[in-house]
Structure 1
Amino acid sequence: MAGGRARGANGRLLLGMEASYGALLSVLTWFQTPFVSANLGDEQGLVESDVLGFGRMPQEPGRDAVNNAGDVVVPLCARNIGLWYTLLFGAPSTVAGVAASGDLTFSAQPANNATITVGGQLFTFTTGTVGANQIKIGPTLKATIANAVRALNASAVPGVAAASYWGDDAVQKIYVLHDAVGVGGNSFALAASAAAVTVSGATLAGGSATGGYRHTWKVDATSLTTPSATAEVGMPEVPSYTQNYGLKANTYGVPLQRSGNLNATIGAIAQGETPVAASTIKADPSVLVMRKFSAFSGTARRNGMPFGPSLVSGQFNYSNGADPVPTVGRGDGRIGGVDEGMAGVTGSVGIRYDSTEMQTQAENGEACELAFSWAIPGTTFALRHVAHAVYLPKAKRPITGPGAIQADYNWQGAQDPVTGRLVTFVLDNDVEEYVVPDAA
């Protein structure tokens, strides 16, 4: 008996991590995940017959191999996006608590030989040649803050290296966030000798062993394999429910934009799809209540400093370089698995041309750190994407009319020789854990 016509508004997407590749029955926990669109499912084409001897009449076509690859577009939700990161990278390192933070505020250019103390280490501002633990006073306060952020982030002093630093020239601050979640960061010392610099307190504050969770996904030389999942696509009006098993996430992309819905696109490859069933595999799945990041809250930083008002667009892309295994002899036409290939991180930034700094970096072949971040005001929910060693191409600056001139840089990331990482994703929220079940 025919059911109703399926509508996307009533569509349902369940996601469950597999203990073994392609084993949908090994899923221990199913999550109903919010989504914008889903393009998963088997495709099996027809092969035109090459048989002769029947005159002009074509004969029955053959059936081709089965492929299952497509995109899932999901909102950048502070809770549910962690499920997709776990599929992309594996289980994160999770720590309970909130990291300590603080700041240094500049009211003017620091004087020559003025000092700040960060993490127990004294740094001296200088107008001369920069040596160890010295910060160059630039021609503007913005340049000085940028020099300070670079010096702090590059420091090998253990106390200093225990935190991360970024600047905001609009409010003339350097923000300090302890890398370790918990109360330990509350003893991290801050001080300043000059009236031009004011610290938020003698130490960082706000570090707590409770109040949230920090999940960290890192891609480095140890990131050899990624987990698989099963995704059920449900259309209850028909009813029609199918499970796409052996699902591996290959690509990820998210824009940096001023307005509009903030969505991420996941490119995935599955081994296969079950026949259509009239009932769901899980009637009462777990639900992580949606809390979306908004596009307006996005920030982009280069070497810890914001791009400023001239950044008009951005894109962050990651790829696992997935390589489907075209197995023969299975008898079902499906792939035998998916091998992880060369990881890659790429993207773009569109800049209203107001400085030669990025063009100079491109000409010199130097690397920089790029970070795209979002936060939900009034909460501890935050998300950071960090590409640790980014290289810029030389870009044209075309004059096409009387309006603004823009340079578009399609950047590429590489393994950072210091951290050994390609990229790091950090998600702060209230979800206790993201789990990949142990192999059966």
Structure 2
Amino acid sequence: MARAQGARSQLAAAFETVYGTAPAGGFTRMPFAASTLSAEQPLLSSELLGYGRDPLAPVKDAITADGDLTIPIDAEAFGFWLKATFGSPVTTGASPGPYTHNFETGNWTLPSMAIETGMPEVPRFAMYSGVMVNQLSWTMQRSGLLTASAQLVAQGEAVASTSQAGTPTDYDLRRFGHFNGSIERDGVALGNVISAQITYANNLDRIETIRNDGMIDGADPTIAALTGQIEVRFADMVLMNQAIAGTPCELEFAYTLASGESLTFTAHAVYLPRPRVEISGPQGVQATFDWQAARDPITSRMATITLVNSIEEY
């Protein structure tokens, strides 16, 4: 008997036209490293008395469908997740490319997706409809594999023994690495950085109305949040002086491939807290800044994400 193996699992995704309704086609096979996307329905223990010490049968509670998806940060497929997180981009360029996709924060309308995870050897194919990105985060560091974590909220799950995604298309995998990364502050390279963490949250509000299927009615974006952390070797007072003054700066996190593809995440107004600076031994002194971004009055948004690749549209 065949047993499920992660190495044989697959994932396909497509944007929905109507929330909660998976499209009949147009799916794309997506690269991923791990997935906890699933549905669960707990049981409520009976509170009734009068039938002895043994409890009566439990009843089903509401369905919750959500989870995290670990995905590579690459030059093509990552644009799909950027659209799901920030909304449709403004794309410029002409055939045969390159094309520049500009994503902006602040959109009130975000697209929903249908995502199918498959285990062909069981067989089990789970179609999740009404999927939206609640949070997208990743870490910049000196070495290792560069991946992002997408926190997903779905309406529900439908399980079948055959795939409902048809024959999905593929993106070409052109993966960024930590070696391709750089950080700038107000247009100048920021030195002495050990690691940096970026988290963008849509803070989705689940619409938990009364339904006969136990699913949610939707998920509405509320006030967004862009936060992160910068860990630096304490070598100068540039960041500390900014934290003391309480003034914002622009932080740019970028990746560039030799073939020309690039990803640039620009937070336009970043505020730094005043951190503790501790001398814990003979090694170098480090400081950690837990930064927060806000709406920039000049650009009228919190952040701009620019992806340059050969994809004509998302």
Q: TM-score, normalised by structure 1?
A: 0.70
Structure 1: where are the runs of 5+ without partners?
A: 98-208, 435-440
In structure 2, the partner of 1:250 is 134
CA distance in 1 between counterparts of 2:138 and 2:276 reads 24
The structure 2 residue matched to 1:234, chosen from 118, 121, 128, is 118
- Structure 2, unaligned stretches of length 5 or more? none
Contact 1:349 1:409 in 2 (8 A): yes
The amino acid of 2:133's aligned partner reads: A
- TM-score, scaled relative to structure 2: 0.98
Q: Distance in 1 between matches of 2:103 and 2:204?
A: 18
CA displacement at 1:282 relative to structure 2? 2.6
* Alignment correspondent of 2:80: 83
Of all paired residues, the percent bearing the same amino acid is 37
The yes-or-no answer on 1:219 pairing with 2:219 is no
Give me the whole-angstrom Cα distance separating, in 2, the residues matched to 1:48 and 1:312: 50
Match of 1:393 among 253, 267, 273: 273
Q: What is the aligned partner in structure 2 of residue 335 from structure 1?
A: 216
In structure 2, which of residues 34, 38, 50 is the aligned counterpart of residue 37 of structure 1? Answer: 34
Over aligned residue pairs, what C-alpha RMSD do you find? 1.1
What letter corresponds to residue 146 of structure 2 in structure 1?
Answer: L
Distance in 1 (CA, whole Å) between partners of 2:268 and 2:149 is: 22
Q: Distance in 2 between matches of 1:432 and 1:356?
A: 44
| CA distances 1:333-386 after superposition (whole Å, capped 9, x unpaired) | 111110111111100100100111111111111000011000112x11000011
Q: Tell me the SS of whatever aligns to 1:86.
A: helix
Q: 1:347·1:411 contact (CA, 8 Å) conserved in 2? A: yes
The aligned residue for residue 3 of structure 2 is 5
Q: Aligned AA for 1:23?
A: T
Conserved in 1, the CA contact under 8 Å of 2:35 and 2:69? yes
Deviations 1:5-25 (A, max 9, x none): 010111100001000100113
CA distance in structure 2 between the partners assigned to 1:20 and 1:211 by the alignment: 31
2:171 is paired with a residue of what secondary structure?
coil
Structure ID, larger Rg: 1
Answering whether residue 90 of structure 2 is matched by residue 93 of structure 1, we say yes
Q: Which moved more, 1:209-218 or 1:420-429?
A: 209-218
Structure 1 match to 2:298: 418
In structure 2, what is the Cα distance between the partners aligned to 1:73 and 1:236? 21
SS across alignment from 1:359: helix
1:30-429 superposed matches below 5 A: 30-96=27-93, 211-220=97-106, 223-274=107-158, 276-308=159-191, 310-328=192-210, 330-377=211-258, 379-429=259-309
SS in structure 2 at match of 1:265? strand
State whether residues 43 and 66 of structure 1, in contact with CA within 8 Å, keep that contact through their aligned partners in structure 2.
Answer: yes
Is the contact between residue 393 and residue 409 of structure 1 (CA under 8 Å) also seen in structure 2? yes
Aligned equivalents of 2:11 and 2:72: distance in 1? 13
1:263-307 C-alpha deviation (Å, 9 max, x unpaired): 010001000001x21111134211011110011111011111111
- Deviation digits for residues 219-264 of structure 1, max 9, x if unmatched? 13xx111010000000000011010000011100011111100001
Deviations 1:142-189 (A, max 9, x none): xxxxxxxxxxxxxxxxxxxxxxxxxxxxxxxxxxxxxxxxxxxxxxxx
1:42 is paired with a residue whose SS is strand
Secondary structure at 2:276 match in 1:
coil
SS of aligned partner of 1:6: coil
Asked whether the 8 Å contact 1:17–1:28 carries over to 2, the reply is no
The one-letter code matched in structure 2 to 1:386 is T
Partner letter of residue 299 of structure 1?
S
